[in-house]
Amino acid sequence: MMKHYNYALGLTWTIILFVVPLPLIQTLAAGLPLAYSDEFQAIYFGAIAYAWMLAAIYLSTRPKWLDRLIGLPDMYLIHGVISIAAIFLAYLHQSQTQSVGWIKTTGDWAYWLLLGLLGYSLLFMAGWLTSRISVIKRIKAWFEPIFRHEVSVWIHRLNLVATVLVFIHVILINYVTAIKPFMIWFYLYSVLTLVTYVWAKYRDSMTYPRATLIKNTEIAENVHELRLKLTTNLELLPGDFVFISFPTIQGLKELHPFSLVNSPTNNNVIQLAIRGDGDFTKALANIPEGTPVRVVGGYGRYQQFLNERSEFTNIVIIAGGVGIVPLLSMMEANANRVISLFYTAHRAEDLLYPEKIMDWQRRGKFQAYQQVGRFVDSEVLRRLPKDFQTNSLFLIGGPSGMMRHWKRVFKKYGVPAGHLYAEEFNW
């Protein structure tokens, strides 16, 4: 069971990198005229780049079946990596082939558009990068008042225009369109991607279950708890996150991800605790009860991670600030396991849900250590269960730097990577 996730992740990478482009390469290899033999390799690069661009678009639709196997953060990582790789292959393709007229124009436009969007996306949409490199983080923060996330999402969608340009580029090349088996695969992939994308957009905007905001309370300075009454059943697991938006409020129509505070039960009320970090999250303070909410999800692998490792009784949870939210849901849902919680915040008043934590202390099998400011490594290590390297699972939630720190510490003290799980709040 434990290998399940690694196996699914490896298989996903293999299928996208090798299996998806294969029919295009095979049919091209069998059909390209020998007169172009100098350019065969570059043409294959172009075909692989197109296949990866389509795969990246497919992943951007957040296929739920894949999320439960490998998780959305890994899906976004694959999306980012294959997009960069596709642009690299597009560069090789462009620099090693000769073309003229509209074939050249469409190819060049697509290439430069993709390159520009790559730079933009790395700066504004790659949280995994900005959280690691402080210069990029500062540049992003500087520009963010202009290029807000909603604007970035729209700019990022220009990738679709680049893909259409590549599509036109290909159908203008006579000696390629003459290869019927290639064109069948080419149209099949293109149409499938288009249908999936359009369907996902339709699903997100029209058919997805709605909810109503039934309570909006400030539970700490700058943190609001939203209680949503779902009007349709959603497939939710403890620790999941959902995307929400407010279709009736201008400026709040773009979906944003937030984790569940409560363990989803059959009363169809979900709780979210949201810190006011930017335009969307700050505006939540003023949303009146009764407002309709679009909810998409759930996504996430926290509960799946525990279910796949049911033989472990001890769970160690390290949480910082608002990063505790999905772990609250996990603690509520997994009362049968022995849980040690280490929770820190910058200020005492930022420690969320003290009453829940106190309650759980009374149920036994639960020990909480909370403090203002960081824990010293040795303090945490001293309080871990005996033989924690072999009998404990570790869940971590908080700022990216904190998550990386504790992963490093636990690995250093012998915890296998497969016993640690964390979902970052930025991708």
Binding site for ligand FAD (CB under 6 A): 127, 144, 148-149, 241, 256-259, 273-275, 277-281, 322, 325, 423, 425-427
Run of H or E including 198: helix 180-202
CA 28 to chain centre: 34
3 state SS of 297: strand
Smallest gap from residue 265 Cβ to ligand FAD (A): 18
Choose between 96 and 205: whose C-beta lies nearer to ligand FAD.
Answer: 205
DSSP of 358-382: HHHHHTSSEEEEEEESPPPHHHHHH
Smallest gap from residue 357 Cβ to ligand FAD (A): 17
Q: Which residues, other chains included, contact 61 with Cβ-Cβ below 8 Å and sequence gap of 6+?
A: 196, 197, 199, 200
Choose between 23 and 397: whose C-beta lies nearer to ligand FAD.
Answer: 397
Give dist(CA 32, CA 39) in Å, integer.
10
Taking CA atoms, 273 is separated from 296, 398, 406, in Å, by: 17, 14, 24
Smallest gap from residue 282 Cβ to ligand FAD (A): 6
Choose between 47 and 273: whose C-beta lies nearer to ligand FAD.
Answer: 273
Give dist(CA 258, CA 274) in Å, integer.
7
Choose between 189 and 425: whose C-beta lies nearer to ligand FAD.
Answer: 425
Smallest gap from residue 293 Cβ to ligand FAD (A): 15
Give dist(CA 153, CA 125) in Å, integer.
8
Smallest gap from residue 238 Cβ to ligand FAD (A): 13
Written as six digits, the tokens of 258 are: 């937030």
Crossing angle of helices 40-60 and 158-171, rounded to 10° = 140
Give dist(CA 278, CA 265) in Å, integer.
30
Smallest gap from residue 124 Cβ to ligand FAD (A): 7
Choose between 182 and 280: whose C-beta lies nearer to ligand FAD.
Answer: 280
Smallest gap from residue 152 Cβ to ligand FAD (A): 7
Choose between 291 and 392: whose C-beta lies nearer to ligand FAD.
Answer: 291
Give dist(CA 303, CA 192) in Å, integer.
32
Choose between 149 and 405: whose C-beta lies nearer to ligand FAD.
Answer: 149
